[in-house]
């Protein structure tokens, strides 16, 4: 048993409960897997509040991953490609992931190699600031490539 203003030691459950009751606090089991289990005399509501506060702090410090999508057609022109490439560079510079996809409509699915070439070129143009998460793969009528920013050292 541990706690504020309490002699640490090994006590029976009855003794620990009576001691907690005398102080007007609760007996909380902190680590049940220890041998013997560790209990703490504390105000339970305050204990719960502190746990929630710690969880919120951890969540606030967590990195939020944002995925931005850039869509191409299989016959995307050079000017449009460069425009979208510039946007992708900005997204990656902000630390976001980029999902590049080529959308095939109608019979354009017959020219899958155009989409694959386009995504490979896109990947090569962003090689200096980003790395691909996977190779271009076809899912239905879309060919998708995920790109992440390179980690800063």
As a residue count, the chain comes to: 153
**CA separation for the pair 144, 119 (Å, rounded):** 8
The domain 2-58 is placed in CATH, from the list 3.90.1150.10, 3.30.930.10, 3.10.20.80, 3.40.50.720, at 3.10.20.80
The domain 67-149 is placed in CATH, from the list 1.20.1300.10, 3.10.20.30, 3.30.110.10, 3.40.50.720, at 3.30.110.10
Q: Which tens digits make up the pLDDT trace of 51-91? A: 899 999 888 887 777 889 999 888 888 999 999 999 999 99
Would you state the pLDDT for residue 85? 92
**CA separation for the pair 20, 11 (Å, rounded):** 12
**CA separation for the pair 136, 11 (Å, rounded):** 63
DSSP string, the chain: -EETTS--S---HHHHHHHHHHHT-EEEEEETTSSSPEEEEE-HHHHHHHHHHHHHHHHHHSPPP-EEEEEE-TT--HHHHHHHHHHHHHHHHTT-EEEEEEE--GGGGGGHHHHHHHHHHHHHHTTTTEEESS--EEETTEEEEEEEEPPP-
Divide the 153 residues of the chain into consecutive groups of 10 and give the mean pLDDT of each group: 79 87 86 86 88 90 83 88 92 90 84 85 89 86 89 63
Would you state the pLDDT for residue 101? 92
On whether the pTM is more than 0.95, the answer is: no
Would you state the pLDDT for residue 76? 83
């Amino acid at each position: 048993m541990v706690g504020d203003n309490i002699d640490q030691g090994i006590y029976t459950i009855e003794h620990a409960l009576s001691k907690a009751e005398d102080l007007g606090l609760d007996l909380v089991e902190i680590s049940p897997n220890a041998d013997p289990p560790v209990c703490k005399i504390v105000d339970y509501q305050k204990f719960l509040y502190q746990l929630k506060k710690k969880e919120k702090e951890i969540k606030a410090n967590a990195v939020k991953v944002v995925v931005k999508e850039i869509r191409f057609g299989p016959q995307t022109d050079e000017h449009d490609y460069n425009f979208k490439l510039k946007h992708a560079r900005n997204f990656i510079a902000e630390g976001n992931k980029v999902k590049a996809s080529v959308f095939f409509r109608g019979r354009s699915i017959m020219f899958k190699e155009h989409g694959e070439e386009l995504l490979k070129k896109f990947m090569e143009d962003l090689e200096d600031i980003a790395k691909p998460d996977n190779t271009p793969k076809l899912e239905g009528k879309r060919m998708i490539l995920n790109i992440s920013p390179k980690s800063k050292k």
